């Protein structure tokens, strides 16, 4: 197993998974809204969950390359569960709260000059977005393992 981070298959799998996930958000959003939103390349939220794809890719790659009985796999699995729970739970609820607050501000101050700064509403992920991110990450890990396996 190489120790150089630049050629670490675990790191490669994670970064490729994250990069593909961020990139495909743009065409997926275009299919949904018929409008190009290039800001999605650098933002959190949306389909698929790149938090989930990154973590599932790293976790599965650790298991494939270093063994599923390795304590590092157990740690990666636990951290992945926390990240995915946070993405669908706390961050998603914060996004829903932002939507409601933005609606209240619009309703209360209609026609009056107020700041047009709105709260970010796409903070978290739906369970489907997390699932798709997890599938993306797992697929990239398996492909990386097939390419770099010992």
The pLDDT of residue 116 is 55
Percent of the chain with pLDDT over 90: 22
Domain coordinates in residue numbering, the chain: 5-89+124-148
Q: Which helix (H) or strand (E) holds 78?
A: helix 71-88
> Both ends of the chain: CA-CA distance in Å?
8
The C-alpha atoms of residue 147 and residue 107 are separated, in whole angstroms, by 56
Q: What is the pLDDT of residues 130-147, one digit of tens each?
A: 787 888 888 888 898 888
- State the pLDDT at residue 107: 65
pLDDT digit string, tens, across residues 22-63? 998 888 888 888 888 887 778 777 778 888 899 999 999 999
Beta carbons of 109 and 28 less than 8 angstroms apart: no
pTM: 0.66
């Amino acid at each position: 197993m190489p120790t150089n981070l630049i050629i670490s298959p675990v790191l490669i799998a994670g970064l490729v998974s994250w990069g593909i996930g961020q990139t495909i958000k743009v065409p997926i959003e275009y299919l949904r809204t018929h409008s190009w939103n290039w800001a999605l390349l650098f933002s959190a939220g949306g389909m698929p969950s790149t938090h989930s794809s990154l973590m599932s890719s790293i976790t599965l790659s650790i298991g494939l390359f270093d063994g599923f009985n390795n304590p590092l796999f157990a740690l990666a699995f636990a951290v992945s569960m926390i990240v995915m729970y946070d993405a669908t739970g706390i961050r998603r609820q914060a996004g829903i709260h932002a939507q409601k607050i933005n609606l209240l501000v619009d309703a209360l101050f209609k026609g009056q000059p107020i700041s047009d700064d709105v709260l970010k509403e796409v903070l978290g992920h739906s369970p489907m977005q997390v699932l798709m991110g997890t599938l993306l990450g797992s697929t990239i890990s398996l492909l990386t393992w097939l390419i770099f396996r010992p």
